[in-house]
Structure 1
Amino acid sequence: MKTLPEWTDLRYFLELARTGTLSGASRGLEVEHTTVARRIDRLEAQLGSTLFDRSREGYELTEMGLALLPHAEVMESAALAAQDQLSGNQVEVRGVVRLGVPEVLGVRVITPLLARFLAEHPDLSIDLLVQPRFANLANREADLGVTLDAPNTGRYMVTRLATFRLYLYGAPDYLARHPPILRQSDLAGHDFVDYVQDRLASNELNFLDALGFTPRRRLCCTGMMAQAEAAAAGLGLMMAPPYVIADDGRLVPILQGEVFAERAYWMVAPVDLYRLPRVRAVWNLLREYADAQPDLFVHADGAAGIARPKTRRA
């Protein structure tokens, strides 16, 4: 390599790595998609390496692209810090943050929270990855993620976002049509709505088996929003955190102080991305909100439950 790559070419590389398509990168950079393609071709020629695998679905980082990614992000962080310092505004938050969150948490809790936050930061944008699986931070699918499994390897910032409990719920119509539930042992004769067992995004989602019997799963879904609709339609009982259940009477708690499972959400970000002011701003927003709203995650009963959380280091 006779010449060092230009920083502007690395900006194009970062945008394409984050969006996965020429059209997405061109929108973010406000240029023509042909300009993005030309810059990537020039960068690959300068480095003597193929950085992306091209397909009809889009652009995916090669092994060399993944190796370059953290270095480009460090340069981005340094450039933004220098710009802020020279402008006299070292705490300004700008750019795009890709945030990967569980489906219902993203829809019911985080999306409304972002409305006021983005109004306070007009130069910040959020790409919210709301999906029934957890974002792959190792492949830089997201800058910041909320997950049930804290990573044991790699260079990550990790903190416990919230401990939450999944309580038992049923539709009034279902409860009226089936034998009464007066104690945990009565549950064995009832139908349940649950996750598709061979599509679990984490083993931490396997909580029905802790009831002490093999549950009769009448409908299984890959997402909890669909489970809540199925349970409200009377297809069976379900377990869910408080924030999942709307206050409309379609689902009511059952043995709330007696039967529940306990889990923890972890917030994770690669160390180099955590240093970016925009990523830290979103990190602090989620942490402070979760600390201030414990009733979203746990009902105030303090009773012992059927499953205890695994011990993890924050």
Structure 2
Amino acid sequence: MELDWDDLKIFLAVARGESLSAAGRVLKRDPATVGRRVSRLEEVVGAPLFARSPQGYGLTDAGARLMAHAEEAEQAVTRGTEELAGTTGGLSGQVRIGAPDGCANFLLPQVCARIAAEHPELELQIVALPRVINLSKREADLAIAVSPPATGRLTVQKITDYHLHLVAARDYLDQNPPIRTLDDLSGHSIVGYIPDMIFDKELDYLSEIGAEAVSLASNSVSVQLGFLREGAGLGIAHDFALPYAPNLEKVLPGDVSLTRSFYLVRHAGDARIERMTRVADMLMAGLKAEIARLEGLT
């Protein structure tokens, strides 16, 4: 049985997008054409690859088995293309980086701009999402995570630690009762995550200071920082974000000092793709240096 690489690309797009329309957008093809190509591939392999339902296209057992081989083929084609292009010098092509919005807003723009300046033919895309990036659906090529994933054929590398503190605007502190101990936090307005939208246990900061109620909440770190800058209350903020909010002051830094880590996550097979490896190395070094620089300013 001989499989056409173009059919496999279509299969991968449908498997990752879970619909013909999503695959069509990625491939820039009409969904009906995508559907016909999927049906043709199923005829070739002699088995249904997708379970169709109103919710979308889910992989069957046969589809799941083909998925592993299709991804290996995809990686082989990418490696071959890069070798022929000669990637020992400047890098080219597209690399999509997924990250939680705090990292995406306050760290990645500087880091990616420097990488792009060195490699002008490289196209870097940042996907900022207040949730875990789904690499299996190829939402991104590389992902920054706040805790290492426990499942999947993934390569996980620790980038560096970062720090967070309880902060508030100077105006808020001047206009409200003094805070000398953690007990004094009672009665103050608290800014934080929407409790049922905390997508990683490492982000449950307020439980560590005993805060039971959040007065102003968002699933976005940037929005939370906006609340704090406006003097809306107290909240946990990344030290690397504080240079962007000079009117914020640390509160009880001796009692409330949190340490978290960033991890770089990618498909295990991508480690053999030179472009991905080189971008991953530059990304890790750049993030580590940028965190150290910004935290040094505070």
Shorter-chain TM range is 0.7 to 0.9
Tell me the distance in 2 between the aligned counterparts of 1:122 and 1:62: 42
Q: How far did 1:271 drift? A: 0.6
Q: Letter of the aligned partner of 2:177 in structure 1?
A: P
Decide which moves more: 221-230 or 121-130.
121-130
The answer as to 2:284 corresponding to 1:290 is no
Q: Which runs of 5+ in 2 are unaligned?
A: none
**Native 8 Å contact 1:167 1:261 kept in 2:** yes
**Native 8 Å contact 2:82 2:275 kept in 1:** no
Tell me the distance in 2 between the aligned counterparts of 1:123 and 1:63: 40
The alignment's C-alpha RMSD in Å is: 3.2
Q: Letter of the aligned partner of 2:219 in structure 1?
A: T
Q: Which runs of 5+ in 1 are unaligned?
A: 302-314
The answer as to 2:226 corresponding to 1:229 is yes
**Native 8 Å contact 1:102 1:146 kept in 2:** yes
- Paired-residue identity, %: 33
Q: Letter of the aligned partner of 2:103 in structure 1?
A: L
Q: How far did 1:104 drift? A: 2.0
Match of residue 66 from structure 2: 68
Decide which moves more: 29-38 or 63-72.
29-38
Q: How far did 1:34 drift? A: 4.7
Q: How far did 1:290 drift? A: 2.0
**Native 8 Å contact 1:84 1:92 kept in 2:** no
Tell me the distance in 1 between the aligned counterparts of 2:227 and 2:61: 43
Superposition map of 1:51-66 within 5 A = 51-52=49-50, 61-66=59-64
- Which deviations, in whole Å up to 9, do the C-alpha atoms of 1:138-197 show, x marking residues without a partner? 555433221122123433211111211111111222212211223444334422111122
Query: Secondary structure of 1:169's match?
Result: strand
Tell me the distance in 1 between the aligned counterparts of 2:125 and 2:141: 10
Q: How far did 1:296 drift? A: 5.5
Match of residue 97 from structure 1: 95
Match of 1:261 among 229, 242, 258: 258
Distance of aligned partners of 1:96 and 1:68 in 2 relative to their CA distance in 1, 3 Å threshold: farther
The answer as to 2:164 corresponding to 1:166 is yes
**Native 8 Å contact 2:166 2:234 kept in 1:** yes
Decide which moves more: 195-204 or 62-71.
62-71
Query: Secondary structure of 1:240's match?
Result: strand
Query: Secondary structure of 1:249's match?
Result: coil
Tell me the distance in 2 between the aligned counterparts of 1:70 and 1:125: 27
**Native 8 Å contact 2:170 2:248 kept in 1:** yes
Match of 1:272 among 269, 272, 290: 269
Match of residue 144 from structure 2: 146
Match of 1:186 among 158, 176, 184: 184
Tell me the distance in 2 between the aligned counterparts of 1:198 and 1:177: 31
Match of residue 13 from structure 1: 11
Match of residue 202 from structure 2: 204
**Native 8 Å contact 1:243 1:297 kept in 2:** yes
Match of residue 83 from structure 2: 85
Tell me the distance in 2 between the aligned counterparts of 1:268 and 1:85: 24
Q: How far did 1:11 drift? A: 2.3
**How many residues are paired up?**
298
Tell me the distance in 2 between the aligned counterparts of 1:27 and 1:190: 48
Distance of aligned partners of 1:159 and 1:73 in 2 relative to their CA distance in 1, 3 Å threshold: same
- TM score, norm. by length of structure 1: 0.79
Q: Letter of the aligned partner of 1:253 in structure 2?
A: K
Decide which moves more: 73-82 or 109-118.
109-118
**Native 8 Å contact 1:101 1:147 kept in 2:** yes
Decide which moves more: 91-100 or 223-232.
91-100
